[in-house]
Amino acid sequence: MLQINKTLLFIALLVFSTSCKTPSITSSTSNDSQPLPDSFVNSKDTVTIAHVKWELFYKDTDLKYLIETALKNNYDLQLAVQKVAIATNNVKLRKGELLPILNAGVSAGQRRFGLFTMDGAGNASTDILPGQVVPENLPDFFAGFNASWEADVWGKLRSNKKAAIARFSATIEGKNAIQTALIASVAGTYYELLALDNELDIIRETIDLQQDALDIIRVKKQAGVVNELAVKQFEGQVANSKGFEYEILQQIALTENQLHFLCGQFPKPIVRDKSKFAALDSSLLSAGIPSQLLKNRPDIRQAELEVAASKFDVKSAKAAFYPSFMITGSVGYQAFSTALWFQSPESLAYALLGNLTAPLLNRSAIKARFNTAKANQTEALLHYQKNILNGYVEVANELATLKNLEQLYAEKDKEVASYQQSTVIANNLFETGRATYLEVLMAQRTALDSKIQLIVTKKLQHQARINLYRALGGGWQ
């Protein structure tokens, strides 16, 4: 009893000596972040479009096909799926560390002790069997089981398991974030392509009008009404417009290839209806309230889970300061001859060992790992707070952009109508000699620019609508 009391006293002193200087854990959680505003600026919505599935948000059937292809073939998304698989196996690994390790095995060996040692001298005068001394070269055969188990008294292994589970959930959110961004990229590139198609139609219509005007100028030049300068001016304008046409064709090719890359496939013709570009559905643009971002945006949820995982990392790092309890044991048959290997109970062998170890001289390294874990936790918390602020700003920007673009498009539409009429008027006046060819050139150029700007404005409206859906967290459902 006295010996047991001394052992318990030693253990208590060992635990106390290793824990008295253990660093404390500062409590920093995701709840410490700056509170979100109650609503977005100039928005009174309470329902968010983030809850709408992408199949309902995007109504163009050609675009839906491209998105489905991208979700199936995109390499970034496939890499994210593999990260989820890796995180799943890591969870299984951490769970397995909580269980005892049990191995079965067979071993064979041979030992020789020096005769001038205690073991060698004792073996030389000891019978291993009646009338047979221990052989100088002693074979050793063993068949059985050995086990080891670390008692998770301080929760180090449980903290590792919880951190792995949190990171597994974070990888799922990371995949969702990539899917959201991928859908937005495919949709944005698709409308970029439709915009270029419409620009190409306009420039070709303009070239036809300019060619007709050039033919008229050539006739007037032959009649002596205008000189060669006017002909060259019109020829230059036609050449400039044709050059612009080839620039647009080049942009179309590059945009198609970019869309194919997002879809994870080699270039081929993209089926699309350019007439759908003018249609802009603004019925599903409710922003909701800012607090919904915490639940709807995958990147914010991913950052929050990383904060939780880092918290468990700190707990695990702190547990390394305390003693570890390890129990090892083995049981099986052991003999110096295979003929005697399984003779029971003579060949039965077992061992049981309890091991208590506490860090003494390497505490600086453990403390460094602990401080690193705390710094990682602070970094994860700051990243989480940054993502919240970034999400709010993105939504606010797109709401303002949509509002301003709506008014801008209305003005641009009026501008196009005015310049279109001015082109007709300039042509009529030129034919009657009441306007110069320079006025006709200027009217045609201004009308072309205004039509291109109208298409660009419409494209920006589509992109703002797509960006708002993504910024609110839509697309992963």
In this prediction, residue 285 carries a pLDDT of 78
pLDDT at 369 over 70: yes
Q: What value does the mean pLDDT take over residues 115-131?
A: 78
In this prediction, residue 27 carries a pLDDT of 55
In this prediction, residue 299 carries a pLDDT of 93
What does the pLDDT look like over 21-45, one tens digit per residue?
A: 566 655 555 555 667 887 787 677 7
pLDDT at 2 over 50: no
| Bigger pLDDT: 401 vs 284 | 401
pLDDT at 433 over 80: no
For 471, the 3-state DSSP assignment is: helix
pLDDT at 430 over 60: yes
Q: What value does the mean pLDDT take over residues 44-65?
A: 89
| Contact predicate 338/141, CB 8 Å | yes
Question: Domain map of the chain by residue range?
Answer: 22-98+156-316+370-471, 101-120+127-151+324-357
What does the pLDDT look like over 409-418, one tens digit per residue?
A: 999 999 999 9
d(CA 444, CA 233): 13
In this prediction, residue 31 carries a pLDDT of 55
| Contact predicate 74/263, CB 8 Å | yes
| Domain 22-98+156-316+370-471: homologous superfamily in CATH | Outer membrane efflux proteins (OEP) (1.20.1600.10)
In this prediction, residue 22 carries a pLDDT of 61
In this prediction, residue 438 carries a pLDDT of 84
pLDDT at 7 over 70: no
In this prediction, residue 23 carries a pLDDT of 64
In this prediction, residue 49 carries a pLDDT of 87
In this prediction, residue 252 carries a pLDDT of 96
Fold for the domain defined by 101-120+127-151+324-357:
Outer membrane efflux proteins (OEP) (2.20.200)
Average pLDDT, the chain: 87
pLDDT at 196 over 70: yes
For 101, the 3-state DSSP assignment is: strand
In this prediction, residue 85 carries a pLDDT of 95
H or E segment to which residue 348 belongs: strand 348-357
pLDDT at 241 over 50: yes
What does the pLDDT look like over 60-91, one tens digit per residue?
A: 999 999 999 999 999 999 999 999 999 999 99
pLDDT at 249 over 50: yes
| Contact predicate 25/315, CB 8 Å | yes
In this prediction, residue 331 carries a pLDDT of 93
Q: What value does the mean pLDDT take over residues 162-175?
A: 93
In this prediction, residue 178 carries a pLDDT of 95
The beta-carbon contacts of 264-273 under 8 Å, at least 24 apart in sequence, are: 264/69, 264/70, 264/72, 264/73, 264/74, 264/75, 264/78, 265/69, 265/73, 270/62, 270/66, 270/193, 271/62, 271/65, 272/62, 272/190, 272/193, 272/194, 272/197, 273/60, 273/62
Residue identified by tokens 């089926």 is 271
Q: What value does the mean pLDDT take over residues 50-66?
A: 92
For 220, the 3-state DSSP assignment is: helix
Q: Which two tokens stand for residue 129?
A: 């069997």
Q: What value does the mean pLDDT take over residues 184-195?
A: 96
Identity of residue 275: S
Q: What value does the mean pLDDT take over residues 195-201?
A: 95
In this prediction, residue 114 carries a pLDDT of 81
Q: What value does the mean pLDDT take over residues 385-392?
A: 93
| Bigger pLDDT: 185 vs 21 | 185
Closest C-alpha among 311, 296, 420, 320 to residue 369? 320
pLDDT at 388 over 50: yes
Q: How far is CA 91 from CA 150, 168, 313, in A?
A: 18, 7, 14
In this prediction, residue 247 carries a pLDDT of 96
* pLDDT above 90 coverage of the chain, percent: 53
Q: How far is CA 473 from CA 51, 173, 219, 291, in A?
A: 8, 11, 62, 12
What does the pLDDT look like over 286-300, one tens digit per residue?
A: 888 888 888 999 999
pLDDT at 187 over 50: yes
What does the pLDDT look like over 434-473, one tens digit per residue?
A: 888 888 888 889 999 999 999 999 999 999 999 999 999 9
Contacting residues for 278 by C-beta, under 8 A, at least 6 apart: 458
* pLDDT above 70 coverage of the chain, percent: 92
pLDDT at 382 over 50: yes
Q: Which two tokens stand for residue 173?
A: 């959110």
What's the pLDDT band for 5 if we cut at 50, 70, 90?
Answer: low
For 195, the 3-state DSSP assignment is: helix
Identity of residue 29: T
DSSP code at position 336? S
